[in-house]
Amino acid sequence: MAKPISNIGAFTGTIDGITYYTLNGKRVCRKASAPTRDQIQQDPRFAAVKKNNSEFGGASTYARAIRSGLGKYVDTFKDHSFHSRLTSCCQKIIKKGRGEHGQRTINVLNYPEALIGFPLNTKNAILEKLAFLPELQTTVKGIKISWSGMGKINLDKPPNNASHYVLIALINSVPGYAYHKRDKKYIPTRTLPRDAMSAAASPPLKLSGISRDIEIFLPFPKDVRIQEENHENPDKMAHTIWLGIQYGQQINAVFHPLETGKSMQCLAVC
């Protein structure tokens, strides 16, 4: 423990990690230390920190559920900041949940705008590369995604060495999560089906070809159906729709994807 050599400007508080205070009538200073886990859990002074930590854990759990549902496409399209950006996005979603601070429910249906437009790679966002967005039509069995007159003219700066491109669509169904007081953690409010994701893709399309109509039918994952419950119901399953593009070369009727220009982004939530 250090002692100040002067009382000029004597004060109490912390500056640059050094805490100044009075002990037994003398001015002393020491390096500030982070609160311990027990302090955060038991000391009333850290009640707000405890609540924030709880919801950060919930946001991390929810982000992990979304990542898991995207499967192999995460590794194909993500950048180095994907994980932290997705957790930050889920923190915004949890603030719209029901319940008291520290135990609010989390479901993207409460704040779909937070996830819609979210790119797996910030340098390549497909929704910014398309001249117009596709039309979405929901049916009992799935979602139809269609473009009228799609062609190279509708794509922004495709790679020079690409001859073809493939459009990829997928649906990832994620349940709501709620804070479990006994276990002191966030858990899903309903059992997640084993088949929580389904994907479909267009055939390789020529960049030099004429504009053409494109349709992709995206079936709902097995045992998952859109429900009619109120969006505030934490038991409602959220269906997140993602759209991606990969450029490549078609050689001997085989599509070889390129690393450049590929992108995937959240298109809708229902």
Spans of all domains in the chain: 1-33, 37-269
Q: How far apart (Å, rounded) are the C-alpha atoms in residues 94 and 107? A: 7
Pairwise pLDDT comparison (236 vs 173), residue with the higher score: 173
Q: How far apart (Å, rounded) are the C-alpha atoms in residues 16 and 229? A: 52
- Indicate the length of the chain as a whole number: 270
What are the residues whose beta carbons fall under 8 Å from the beta carbon of 53, sequence distance 6 or more? 40
Convert the pLDDT of each residue in 217-255 to its tens digit. Answer: 998 877 665 444 444 444 678 999 999 999 999 999 999
Q: How far apart (Å, rounded) are the C-alpha atoms in residues 101 and 49? A: 11
Q: List the single range of 9-13, 77-81, 164-168, 181-185 with lowest mean pLDDT.
A: 9-13
Q: List, in sequence order, every beta strand (DSSP E) within 139-237.
A: 142-150, 164-174, 177-180, 185-188, 197-201, 205-206, 212-219
248 close to 166: Cβ distance less than 8 angstroms: yes
**232 phi and psi angles, rounded to 5 deg:** -80, -10
Considering 23-37, 134-148, 244-258, the range whose residues carry the highest mean pLDDT is 244-258
Q: How far apart (Å, rounded) are the C-alpha atoms in residues 98 and 100? A: 7
Q: What percent of the chain has pLDDT over 90?
A: 50
Q: Which residue do the tokens 């590929």 mark?
A: 262
For 126, 261, 262, the CA distances from 153, given in Å and listed in that order, are: 14, 16, 17
What pLDDT, on a 0 to 100 scale, did the predictor assign at position 114? 97
Pairwise pLDDT comparison (24 vs 85), residue with the higher score: 85
29 band by pLDDT with thresholds 50, 70 and 90: confident
Whether pTM > 0.85 for this model: the answer is no
Of 156, 159, 126, 147, residue with least CA distance to 248:
159
12 close to 21: Cβ distance less than 8 angstroms: yes
Of 164, 139, 153, 181, residue with least CA distance to 256:
164
What pLDDT, on a 0 to 100 scale, did the predictor assign at position 23? 75
CA angle, 37 then 40 then 41, to 5°: 85
What pLDDT, on a 0 to 100 scale, did the predictor assign at position 10? 61
149 band by pLDDT with thresholds 50, 70 and 90: confident
Convert the pLDDT of each residue in 70-111 to its tens digit. Answer: 999 999 999 999 999 999 999 999 999 999 999 999 999 999
